[in-house]
Structure 1
């Protein structure tokens, strides 16, 4: 028998929410993403086994770095090695042709199929970089998730786009990406757009991506669960409150919908 929404949300709270809301440590993003997959779509998923597999991949990159790069190593050399491992040797790639498929948001499936969207490829990249002891951070860039390495003494940053083969993004590339996403708006490129994202911001963005894909696929049950997972992290999230009210209206639960939507307004 399928688990109830209530039991799934309790599982989510105990597995992720308690920790994610009490720490800004992004090292556990892979764990959180895999629990998201397990709770929403893959109840038998062995999270520990997938983490061990990713860490084995990271160990292979460590060996490549030790073998091929003399010390001291430049950050761009390490980025090149990670890129070579993920995108050349293992053929990970952007899923451009089927971008809105919900499978692109399940990290275990992304690893199996070697294709995904910016945020899932970024989370995998972050874990691999961590194995090399190369600190990288998530970046909640508008409409296109990125990652970055902060240089020693905070003397600068290297922005990386895992969705495009680990391309290093300069200011011109970032502004071009911004203009392509928001044409005719001329949004200025500021440092606020590339600041480090918190674990809460990352996982809520993952869930929002998934909500959009699930809605397009008309998987309303999983859409509802994903929305409740957002609210479990942030009960004041305005988009999730609005979406819950709309779904209640569609189910004919007008009184409850009105109560929810009033809190949104």
Structure 2
């Protein structure tokens, strides 16, 4: 186990599904930043929360969050380099002030929590949001959009934009996303960033972490097996693909995966 994996396992053993998001995502980043000290980043979140607490009495809760995070701290969505791996690493998000909807949402949630507010992640299709609970109601907020409140009409437009077609807005689309699933989703984004950069080793390390957080993601185990095959690691590829077929006996790609196994056996023989 790498230091990153040990740190993640310690958090998983202690907290289960209710992972502390900031600590978990800083542990995730240890793979890319082995010397990372999480303490300064946690203090930065504390400082942002302290600023929010001051502003709440002057401008109200939602405007306090917007002002502290997006106007003063300068956090913003990284439209220009959406698939940069740094958008999925919390330390880089805080250092650069740039992130994805989900990582900016994590900052929002963690700062709100530290400021005595209740906020939760919402895995809206194609664009992560936050539900911020206020004394008399709850509103959806878009941290990628600068902390703007998202109403029903904006939700429908967002869904059409992210799906590329007219899709009916369903109640389940705004269900809360538990912390463990948020970490898994961040790691899925990190995997995609590595794949797009043609960094197969990086993609494997992202999947190692993802499968540690959620071992039931069998399709990700399949993908790791396919990546191992591309890297010429026949034994590791065979283990992952056979485990996938055993876990998902009616997999729609079963024939294709089974057809790959003999080639991996040959590869194993050549490397031995």
- Considering the TM-score relative to the shorter chain, is it more than 0.5? yes
Q: Which runs of 5+ in 2 are unaligned?
A: 246-272
Whether 2:73 is the aligned partner of 1:90: answer yes
Give the 3-state SS of the residue equivalent to 1:136 in structure 2.
strand
1:173 aligns with 154
| 1:145-183 superposed Cα distances (whole Å, 9 cap, x missing partner) | 11002355xx75300000001111111111111111112
- For residues 107 and 253 of structure 1, the distance between their equivalents in structure 2, rounded to whole angstroms, comes to 31
1:252 aligns with 232
**Aligned partner (choices 212, 223, 242) of residue 192 of structure 2:** 212
| Cα gap change, 1:13 to 1:231, in 2 (>3 Å) | same
The structural deviation recorded for 1:90 is 2.1
Whether 2:107 is the aligned partner of 1:124: answer yes
Which stretches of structure 1, 4 residues or longer, exceed 4 Å deviation after superposition?
Answer: none
Q: Is this contact kept in 2: 1:40–1:222, CA < 8 A?
A: no
| 1:37-66 superposed Cα distances (whole Å, 9 cap, x missing partner) | 1x2211111112210121012111211223
The structural deviation recorded for 1:211 is 0.5
Q: Is this contact kept in 2: 1:139–1:196, CA < 8 A?
A: yes
- For residues 89 and 260 of structure 1, the distance between their equivalents in structure 2, rounded to whole angstroms, comes to 47
| Cα gap change, 1:167 to 1:233, in 2 (>3 Å) | same
TM superposition score normalised by structure 2: 0.83
Q: Is this contact kept in 2: 1:9–1:232, CA < 8 A?
A: no
Give the 3-state SS of the residue equivalent to 2:25 in structure 1.
helix
1:115 aligns with 98
Give the CA RMSD over aligned residues. Answer: 1.9
- For residues 167 and 36 of structure 1, the distance between their equivalents in structure 2, rounded to whole angstroms, comes to 28
How many residues are aligned here?
A: 245
Larger Rg: 2
Greater length-normalized contact order (CA 8 Å, ≥ 6 residues apart)? 1
| 1:75-116 superposed Cα distances (whole Å, 9 cap, x missing partner) | xx3111110121112221111001111011111111111111
Whether 2:24 is the aligned partner of 1:32: answer yes
The structural deviation recorded for 1:226 is 1.0
Give the 3-state SS of the residue equivalent to 2:127 in structure 1.
coil
TM superposition score normalised by structure 1: 0.85
